[in-house]
């Protein structure tokens, strides 16, 4: 079956191929590309449970990316999921306190975004070739911390591409910042902006939507594409690990094929949890989607009331990759629950852009019944790290801890004992100070490096290669700019007057 894509904001019959959607990132009308219909898994769970991560990746991705040949897809997969990951299984499932932590942090930047961003450069360059693109692809990215580094690592020195990353200068962890500003590669450019993540994301979206700018780029032999989680080429690879997790549960005898599971996902831009929702659409038996937020609880309120309202205080928390007030990928869910009505979706999004808020209808709210959304305070987050460590010796990072804390609320409120997979989105080594504070109390007298050593001891895990490398890496990127100067900064770097 050929799967075509359309923009969430385009009510015409116009559709595009998967490779074109990947190449564009965002549609010209500002909408997000969504599949016109959902394919179905054509392998049984028993078959999938015998497969490697790479084989499952092929089985899932071939369903969505139907204009890629088998050879192209297998090439992309084998180059993405290789020894860059520090476990042969690529992802790992660890049982602790009767739940399953799906460890998605074994890649180069020790956060789950590696799963999508290791393969996106291959998908994108393949897509460019398929669509006869002659321009250089300029990846324009806003990051709350983890996307930036994962995208930089993925695209560094990939021929035919350049990558520019904007991050909030004071809104990422020291390790996240160091990871980015030490990035190698002649085609990479990292800029700290004087603003928060939403400012960075809005600035990037504005450049994408700017026709005049895109003409200027074209005249100079460039075109933009996106490595942000709005790109369908990031979403599809994320569906893979939910199928993988389910297959592992069956393989390990924890559940039987066909049994229902829940997933808990620490959520920011709504990409990861949406991928789990897409996994259900293709046939994976997921019962509940537990959407975990930190103190920036705009999604909790949305699921509770039907009103999305970004007009609120923004908090910097110990889970910075979830410090987000505008969750871009929610647009894809809105589109589905309003019956794939692009006009309605566009109206909601225009209202969000203009007034910072919109309210969905009651019938749309009924479409959200599979979701359970709560948030965890800072205290509850650190408490979840502490309690899990005391009980089991297993150490989780602050983002995963938001998930664990919210899952606990779910269990207390519902009594539901369905086996649950918690997406473990980052390695604790990435947030050593917060994690060690949770475990040991006041650690303010220790340096970041000392804390990493201490963490290695308490967790009985070796320091990941990504952390060791960082210790001596020289700083290569020092550019900063105001939000209003983002476009100028891009043009200057590309040599466009």
| Residues between 161 and 220 that touch ligand PLP (CB under 6 A) | none
Q: Exactly one of 25, 203, 233, 268 binds ligand PLP (CB under 6 A); which one? A: 268
Return the range that interacts with ligand PLP (CB under 6 A); candidates 83-91, 263-271, 296-304, 349-357: 263-271
Closest distance to ligand PLP from the beta carbon of 321 (Å) = 3
By CB under 6 A, tell whether 436 contacts ligand PLP: no
Q: Does 113 bind ligand PLP (CB under 6 A)?
A: yes
Binding pattern to ligand PLP, positions 13-42, x when CB under 6 A? ------------------------------
CB of 220 to ligand PLP, least distance (A): 32
Contact positions with ligand PLP (CB under 6 A) in 294-353: 321-322
Closer to ligand PLP at the Cβ: 130 or 266? 266
String marking each residue 64-103 x if it binds ligand PLP according to CB under 6 A: ----------------------------------------
Q: Which residues, 6 or more positions from 66, have their beta carbon under 8 angstroms from its beta carbon? A: 1, 2, 3, 17, 18, 39
- Name which of 126 and 400 has its Cβ closer to ligand PLP: 400
231 binds ligand PLP (CB under 6 A): no
Asked whether position 237 contacts ligand PLP by CB under 6 A, the answer is: no
CB of 230 to ligand PLP, least distance (A): 10
> Is residue 229 close enough to count as binding ligand PLP by CB under 6 A?
yes
Distance CA 118, CA 131 (A): 21
List, in sequence order, every residue forming a beta bridge with 7; answer none if it has no partner: 33
Least gap, CB of 68 to ligand PLP (angstroms):
23
Q: By CB under 6 A, how many residues form the interface with ligand PLP?
A: 16
Residue with smaller CB distance to ligand PLP, 49 or 226: 226
106 sits near ligand PLP (criterion: CB under 6 A): no
Question: Among residues 166, 270, 278, 302, which is the contact residue for ligand PLP, using CB under 6 A?
Answer: 270
426 lies in the binding site for ligand PLP (CB under 6 A): yes
- Six-digit token pair at 21? 């959607």
- Cβ neighbors of 126 (< 8 A, separation 6 or more) are 19, 68, 72, 75, 76
Q: Are 395 and 385 in contact (CB under 8 A)?
A: yes
Q: How far is the CB of 173 from ligand PLP (least distance, A)?
A: 10
* Site membership for ligand PLP, residue 266 (CB under 6 A): yes
Q: Name which of 17 and 173 has its Cβ closer to ligand PLP.
A: 173
Nearer to ligand PLP, 122 or 197 (CB): 197
Interacting residue with ligand PLP among 72, 103, 114, 146 (CB under 6 A): 146
Please report, as residue ranges, which positions from 271 to 300 form the binding site for ligand PLP (by CB under 6 A). Answer: 271-272
Q: Which residues contact 365 (CB under 8 A, 6 or more apart)?
A: 306
Contact string (CB under 6 A) for ligand PLP, positions 385-414, x = contact:
--------------x---------------
Give the residue with the Cβ less far from ligand PLP, 16 or 34.
Answer: 34
Q: Are 163 and 188 in contact (CB under 8 A)?
A: yes
Residue 107 within binding range of ligand PLP, rule CB under 6 A: no
Nearest distance, CB of residue 160 and ligand PLP, angstroms: 26
- We find the least distance from the C-beta atom of residue 488 to ligand PLP, in angstroms, to be 28
Give the Cα separation of 302 and 326 in Å (integer): 11
Alpha-carbon gap, residue 407 to 404, rounded angstroms: 5
Q: Give the binding site for ligand PLP (CB under 6 A).
A: 111, 113, 146, 229, 266-272, 321-322, 399, 425-426
């Amino acid at each position: 079956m050929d799967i075509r894509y359309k923009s969430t904001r385009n009510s015409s019959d116009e559709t595009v191929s998967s490779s074109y959607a990947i190449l564009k990132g965002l549609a010209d009308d500002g909408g997000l590309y969504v599949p016109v219909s959902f394919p179905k898994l054509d392998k049984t769970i028993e078959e999938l449970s015998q497969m490697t991560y790479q084989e499952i990746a092929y089985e899932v991705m071939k369903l969505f990316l139907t204009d890629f040949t088998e050879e192209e897809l297998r090439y992309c997969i084998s180059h993405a999921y290789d020894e860059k990951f520090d476990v042969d299984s690529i992802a790992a499932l660890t049982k602790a306190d009767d739940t399953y932590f799906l460890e998605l942090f074994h890649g180069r930047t020790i956060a789950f975004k590696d799963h999508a961003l290791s393969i996106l450069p291959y998908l994108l360059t393949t897509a460019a070739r398929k669509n006869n693109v002659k321009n250089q692809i300029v990846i324009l990215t806003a990051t709350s911390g983890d996307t930036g580094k994962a995208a930089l690592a993925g695209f560094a020195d990939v021929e035919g591409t350049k990558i520019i990353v904007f991050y909030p200068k004071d809104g990422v962890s020291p390790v996240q910042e160091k990871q980015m500003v030490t990035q190698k590669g002649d085609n990479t450019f990292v800029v700290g902006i004087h603003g928060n993540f939403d400012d960075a994301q809005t600035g990037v979206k504005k450049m994408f939507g700017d026709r005049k700018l895109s003409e200027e780029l074209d005249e100079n032999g460039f075109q933009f594409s996106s490595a942000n989680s709005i790109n369908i080429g990031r979403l599809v690879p994320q569906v893979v690990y939910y199928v993988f997790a389910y297959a592992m549960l069956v393989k390990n005898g924890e559940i039987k094929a066909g049994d229902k599971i829940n997933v808990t996902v620490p959520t920011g831009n709504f990409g990861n949890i949406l991928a789990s929702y897409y996994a259900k659409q293709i046939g994976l038996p997921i019962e509940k989607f537990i959407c975990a937020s930190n103190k920036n609880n705009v999604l909790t309120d949305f699921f509770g009331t039907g009103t999305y309202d970004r007009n609120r205080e923004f908090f910097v928390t110990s889970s910075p990759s979830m410090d987000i007030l505008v969750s871009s990928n929610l647009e894809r869910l809105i589109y589905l629950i309003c019956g794939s009505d692009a006009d309605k979706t566009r109206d909601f999004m225009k209202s969000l852009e203009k007034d910072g808020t919109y309210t969905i209808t009651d019938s749309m709210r009924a479409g959200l019944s599979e979701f359970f959304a709560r948030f965890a305070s800072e205290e509850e987050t650190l408490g979840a790290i502490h309690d899990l460590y005391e009980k089991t010796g297993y150490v989780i990072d602050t983002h995963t801890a938001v998930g664990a804390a919210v899952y606990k609320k779910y269990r207390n409120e519902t009594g539901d004992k369905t086996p649950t997979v918690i997406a473990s989105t980052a390695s604790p080594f990435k947030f050593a100070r917060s994690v060690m504070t949770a475990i040991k109390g006041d650690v303010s007298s220790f340096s970041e490096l000392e804390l990493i050593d201490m963490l290695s001891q308490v967790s009985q895990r070796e320091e990941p290669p990504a952390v060791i490398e960082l210790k001596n890496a020289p700083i290569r990127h020092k550019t900063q700019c105001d939000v209003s100067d983002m476009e100028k900064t891009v043009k200057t770097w590309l040599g466009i007057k």
